[in-house]
Amino acid sequence: MGDGGVFWVCRTCGVEHAERVEVCAICADERQWVPASGQAWATLDELAAEGVHVTTHELEPGLLALEAPGVGIEQQAKLLTTEQGTLLWDPLGFVDDAGLAAVVDAAGSSRTLVVAASHPHMFGVQVEWSRRASAALGRDVPVLVSAPDAGWVARSDDAIRPWTGELEVLPGVVLSQPGGHFPGSAVAHWAGGADGRGVLLSGDTIFANPDRTSVSFMRSYPNRIPLSGQVALRVAQHVARRPFDRLYNNFAGVIPSDARAVVGRSAERHAAWTRGDHDDLT
């Protein structure tokens, strides 16, 4: 059952909560952080009054970026649209009329619309996106949550559908769970992206580095906790099962070309450093 529409947004991570608890569990975890000033909450109305709004821009044909600066981790959500349907990936911690219109226009009157996040830090206000889109479209919009990470959901709703393993949410768009950052950390593979060469939406399961020629594998990015070399290799091997030329992370990071090879090389480099192969350089 739902919560009647009353909810709060953690100002640090941007994840929706049905109750104003003493501290957001996602932020109290070692992968995140609680500000020195303490836990803080906001409503959507309060955020809007502060000037927060959703902006959109095209990354490539069929893929839009949605952003809401000033909210939580400030991820960049991805709106992937094919002839068969639309995926809202890593939904923002804020929704307004402009953002909703972009999603509804992409889904149209008949195409499937699905909401999914790569991991709990990216849940945002996923239920609210689903509820508002469902009302606008007159049909149910499911929220897909990786079953291993379902315990992090802080606002329950009938729209939430746990999933595990691999799931084709649209023809040519497949979600899978390489794990790593979280046990259920997921990626979305879009076969038709990059002019048919394939795109991987990696969240921060695999994080595109600023050099645009390498990626990182971390348990925590803000707190600098690495994954083991063995896990980095496992994640890379998992995503290598499908071809992709381009990779987008959950911010503005992109590996524009040769991304599958970049992921493989980066995993080998990560494993070598964690084994101590290059200790002579330190």
- pLDDT, averaged across the chain: 97
Antiparallel, parallel or unpaired: β 55-60 and 77-81: unpaired
Cβ-based neighbour number of residue 102 at 10 Å: 18
Kindly write down the DSSP assignment for every residue of the chain, as one continuous string: ---TT--EEETTT--EESS--SS-HHHHSTTS---TT---EE-HHHHHHTT---EEEEEETTEEEEE-TTSTT---EEEEE-SSEEEEES--S---HHHHHHHHHHHTTTSEEEEE-SSGGG-TTHHHHHHHHHHHHTS---EEEEGGGGGG-SS--TTEEEE-SEEEEETTEEEE---SSSTT--EEEETTHHHHT-EEEEETTSEE-TTSS-EE-EEETTTTEEPPHHHHHHHHHHHTTS--SEEEESSS-EE-SSHHHHHHHHHHHHHHHHHTTTGGG-
Name the more confident of 3 and 275. 275
3-state secondary structure of 51: coil
Antiparallel, parallel or unpaired: β 143-146 and 112-116: parallel
* Confidence at residue 118, expressed as pLDDT on a 0 to 100 scale: 98
Q: What is the pLDDT of residues 2-40, one digit of tens each?
A: 577 889 999 999 999 999 999 999 999 999 999 999 999
Average pLDDT over residues 179-202: 98
Q: What is the pLDDT of residues 75-100, one digit of tens each?
A: 999 999 999 999 999 999 999 999 99
* Confidence at residue 273, expressed as pLDDT on a 0 to 100 scale: 98
* Confidence at residue 13, expressed as pLDDT on a 0 to 100 scale: 98
3-state secondary structure of 13: coil
* Confidence at residue 27, expressed as pLDDT on a 0 to 100 scale: 98
pLDDT at 1 exceeding the cut of 60 = no
Q: What is the pLDDT of residues 134-171, one digit of tens each?
A: 999 999 999 999 999 999 999 999 999 999 999 999 99
Q: What is the pLDDT of residues 34-80, one digit of tens each?
A: 999 999 999 999 999 999 999 999 999 999 999 999 999 999 999 99
Average pLDDT over residues 213-217: 98
Q: What is the pLDDT of residues 223-250, one digit of tens each?
A: 999 999 999 999 999 999 999 999 999 9
pLDDT at 130 exceeding the cut of 80 = yes
**Structure tokens of 67?**
């952003």
pLDDT at 109 exceeding the cut of 90 = no
* Confidence at residue 2, expressed as pLDDT on a 0 to 100 scale: 58
Question: 187 falls in which pLDDT band (50, 70, 90)?
Answer: very high
Measured over the CA atoms of residue 46, residue 49, residue 51 and residue 54, the dihedral's sign is positive
Average pLDDT over residues 162-182: 98
* Confidence at residue 3, expressed as pLDDT on a 0 to 100 scale: 75
